Amino acid sequence: MRLRWTSRSRVKTIALGMVSVIVFAACSTNDGRDMSPPRDDQNDTITQTTVATTVDPTLEAVSEPATFLSVSGSWEEGGIINVKHTCAGAGVAPSLTWTGVGTGTKALGLVLSESDDPSNMLWVVANLEPTITGVAAGEPLPATAVVAKNSRGVVGYTAPCPDTAKERSYLLTLYALDQVIEAGTGDDAAAVVAAMESAALDATSTEFLATGT
């Protein structure tokens, strides 16, 4: 999971200082003659101003609360996904939940791909409403969702299906987008993902393992 911290702090301090010293004194010629006492207008004078420090009230320190975008599924991070979400079981999409969607987010997107081969995408969804906080396992997606044609030529979720019993790692990424992207259901997955990456305000991932048949 990637954490993001946003903080701004600006304090403006202006210091002005000026010291002026004016010395008027009679000079001695050291010739044995007594110096005349100074006149009243020849006394040493020192004029000093105080240092002024001001803070612009419009630029006071501001600390914004951090938002931590996170996504999780029905598995331990890095753990094995339930067989019902793989080709060895019912092959239904897993349930997902997320938190920390920041202000300015206009849509959300999901991408499921192989960790070692991100171009092999099994599930690509865009334009989910930013107000929702998850999707249920195997349930239809919200009406606003755009589902791309994945790398297997399927419009929707393709269950992970590693060869034999060897475990394979998969990455599910959640995108927070600054706009609703121009895409339609059935569009090419790579094009939809490229559009989401271009519009991403933030992104975070979770990883799981799946075993084959």
93 with 186, same domain: the answer is yes
CATH number of the domain residue 126 falls in? 3.90.280.10
User: Are the C-beta atoms of residues 186 and 125 closer than 8 Å to each other?
Assistant: no
Whether residues 115 and 74 share a domain: the answer is: yes
How buried is residue 166: exposed, middle or buried, by Cβ count under 10 Å (0-12/13-18/19+)? exposed
| Lowest-confidence region among 18-22, 37-41, 113-117, 187-191 | 18-22
7 found inside a domain? no
pLDDT at 201 > cutoff 80: yes
* Mean pLDDT of the chain, nearest integer: 78
Domain range for 28 is 13-59
Spatial distance between the Cα atoms of 21 and 185, rounded to a whole number of angstroms: 80
Question: Sign (positive/negative) of CA torsion 104, 98, 145, 188?
Answer: positive
Check whether residue 119 and residue 166 sit in a common domain.
Answer: yes
The reply to whether 65 falls in a domain is: no
Classify strands 168-177 and 200-210 as parallel, antiparallel or unpaired. Answer: antiparallel
Listed in sequence order, the residues at least 6 apart from 98 whose beta carbon sits closer than 8 Å to its beta carbon are: 69, 70, 71, 72, 108, 133, 134, 174
Q: Does one domain contain both 172 and 94? A: yes
Total structural domains within the chain: 2
Residue 135 has pLDDT above 90, yes or no: yes
| Residue 64 belongs to a domain | no
- Residue 166's pLDDT band (cuts 50, 70, 90): confident
Structural tokens at position 178: 């600054």
Beta-bridge mates of residue 46: 21
Beta carbons of 152 and 158 less than 8 angstroms apart: yes
The answer as to whether 3 is a domain residue is no
Q: Does 89 lie in the same domain as 55?
A: no
Number of neighbours of residue 176 by Cβ within 10 angstroms: 25
- Give pLDDT tens digits for 185-195: 999 999 999 99
Specify whether 131 is located in the same domain as 206.
yes
Q: How many residues does the chain have?
A: 213
In a domain, 6, yes or no: no
Q: Is residue 153, in this structure, part of any structural domain at all?
A: yes
* pLDDT tens profile 40-51: 555 554 444 444
Q: pLDDT category, 35, cuts 50, 70, 90?
A: low
Residues 181, 88 share a domain: yes
Same domain assignment for residues 93 and 191: yes
Angle, CA 164 vertex, CA 161 and CA 166 arms, to 5°: 85
8 φ, ψ to 5°?
-130, 135
| Residue 144 belongs to some domain of the structure | yes
Specify whether 42 is located in the same domain as 95. no
**How many CB atoms sit inside 10 A of residue 165's CB?**
9
Please say if the pLDDT value at position 104 is more than 80. Answer: yes
- The answer on 120 and 176 residing in a single domain is yes
Segment 94-105 mean pLDDT = 95
Q: Is 198 helix (H, G, I), strand (E, B) or coil?
A: helix
Q: pLDDT by residue (tens digit) across 76-92?
A: 999 999 999 999 999 99
Q: Is residue 8, in this structure, part of any structural domain at all?
A: no
- Asked whether 177 and 138 are in contact (CB, 8 A), the reply is no
Which pLDDT band holds residue 213 (cuts at 50, 70, 90)?
low
Q: List strands edge to edge, sheet with 200-210.
A: 146-147, 121-128, 107-114, 168-177, 200-210
Average pLDDT (107-123) is: 97
Same domain for 19 and 111?
A: no
If asked whether residues 48 and 80 sit together in one domain, one would say no
